[in-house]
A and B are shown apart, each in its own frame.
Chain A
Amino acid sequence: MTKPDARGSSAIHRMPAGIKLLALAVAGSAVVLVGDWRVMLACLALALLLYPAAGLTFRDAARQLRPLLWMLVILFAAQAWFESFALAALVVLRIAALVALAALVTLTTPMAAMIAVVERVVSPFRRLGVDPEKVGLAFALALRFIPVIAAQAGEIREAQRARGLDRNLVALALPLIVRTLRTADAVADAVEARSFDADAAGERVARLKMKVDRSSE
């Protein structure tokens, strides 16, 4: 459930997260223009060569591509059978190259840097009513509660297994949802008690400040 350590000292590690994401977006659009599978093979080779350049191994790259393997094999077979070898190779190599490249960005960029990019990207939308602080709170809460809810899910499974209900999906889902809702209520109470509520709290603070300013006049 945790992400491998993204710290490192290579040039790719040190590159700003925003630049890496932009480069990935450009690469993603550019490969669509490649129509020859041999050129695409070179693109894949290039993406894979970036792994040692970032201080990673080819095994790291293989680990990123493995979940896709069966799908790519089926896709290749289907395309080669019904269309042509050239098209099959082009499509499969394109997916592999982009997935390898995107995974490299993920592997070399700390999560905090990614969240910082998200906050920077959403901040111009403040005028449309998007509150970057609430976005940050949502990320922080989700990161905090994934292991908590996962642990609760595990407990519920153990308990239902004891009752012979571990194959009954309703008996697994319903208690998990109810627990999640209870947790959410408790967390919301706690967050509001610390008066995070941005609108309400902000207004209160602003009013208070005005009073203070006036009294000092």
Chain B
Amino acid sequence: MSEARTSTRDVVFIALFAALTAALALFPPLQVPLLGVPVTAQSMGPMLAGAILGARRGALSMLLVVALVAIGLPILSGGRGGLGVFFGPTVGFLVGWLPAAYVTGLLHEKGWRSLSLVSSFAYCAIGGILVLYAVGIPLMILNTGLAPAKAFAATGVFVPGDLIKAAITAVVAVAVKRSYPLIDRPRARIG
């Protein structure tokens, strides 16, 4: 999990963002009347981890979440957890959190200097929605034999909610950049 360049401080941030993602499961799903599907807070986890911790630490914290689910913690929304999750139809929307956080983080690192609400929102949408669905939908098709069009239709209803989450993450990321920048912190290559 940690190459030599992962400092103890990095390990702490990785662990606490994994814990934060787990805690997000406790927020009851928000019912948005126009959408018709519940919007859960938890899938903000990979966007937040990437946007605030950056690519590497963000992806590692999501790897830790996946490992915590695997060893049996019921930390996914709805109290799901355990190895059973890995054989369910939506497994791709869990393991997809790794590349989602990585890409979200990478884009935030590249565009850090000129980060704005708009650019952060776009980065979150690319990493947390586009990349996530690119992993989630094929695995769902593989797992269930659903026709691709059906799989797209079944998951498409969650996109508006995910866009709301990308917007919230962007607001948080820009505010945190001002008060608590973690991505730009010069990394001591000596230590």
Contact = CB atoms under 8 A, between A and B. Distances in A.
Contact of B15 (A6, A95, A122, A145): A145
A114 B19 contact: no
A62 interface: no
Contact of A103 (B41, B84, B179, B191): B84
A152 B86 CA distance: 29
A99 B84 contact: yes
Nearest to A21: B83
Interface in A169-211: 169-170, 172-174, 176-178, 180-181, 183-184, 187-188, 191-192, 196-200
A141 interface: yes
Given A102-B82, A134-B11, A137-B11, A199 B4 contact: yes
Interface in B1-16: 1-4, 6-9, 11-16
Contacts of B26: 1, 150, 153-154
A73 interface: no
B56 to A, nearest CB: 12
Nearest to B73: A3
A177 B169 CA distance: 10
Contacts of B73: 1, 3, 111, 143, 146
Contacts of B64: 138-139, 142
A77 to B, nearest CB: 11
Contacts of B20: 149, 176-177, 180
A187 B16 contact: yes
B72 interface: yes
B18 interface: yes
Q: In the complex, which range does the number of interface residues on chain A fall in?
A: 35 or more
Nearest to B149: A82
A170 B83 CA distance: 33
A50 interface: no
A83 B2 CA distance: 46
Interface string B61-98: 00010011011111100111111111111100000000
Contact of A174 (B9, B75, B86, B175): B175
Interface stretch (A7-15, A37-45, A51-59, A63-71): A63-71
Given A139-B64, A177-B52, A100 B176 contact: no
Nearest to A97: B87
Interface string B149-184: 010001000000000110011011001100110100
Contacts of A68: 84, 88
A153 B16 contact: no
B123 interface: no
24 contacts: A3-B74, A91-B144, A91-B145, A95-B89, A99-B84, A102-B84, A114-B72, A130-B2, A135-B2, A142-B68, A145-B16, A149-B16, A149-B20, A149-B23, A152-B23, A169-B41, A170-B172, A172-B27, A173-B44, A180-B17, A181-B52, A192-B9, A197-B8, A200-B191
Interface of A: 1, 3, 6, 21, 24, 28, 64, 67-68, 71, 74-75, 78-79, 82-83, 87, 91, 95, 98-100, 102-103, 105-107, 109, 111, 114-115, 118, 122, 128-131, 134-135, 137-143, 145-146, 148-150, 152-154, 157, 167, 169-170, 172-174, 176-178, 180-181, 183-184, 187-188, 191-192, 196-200
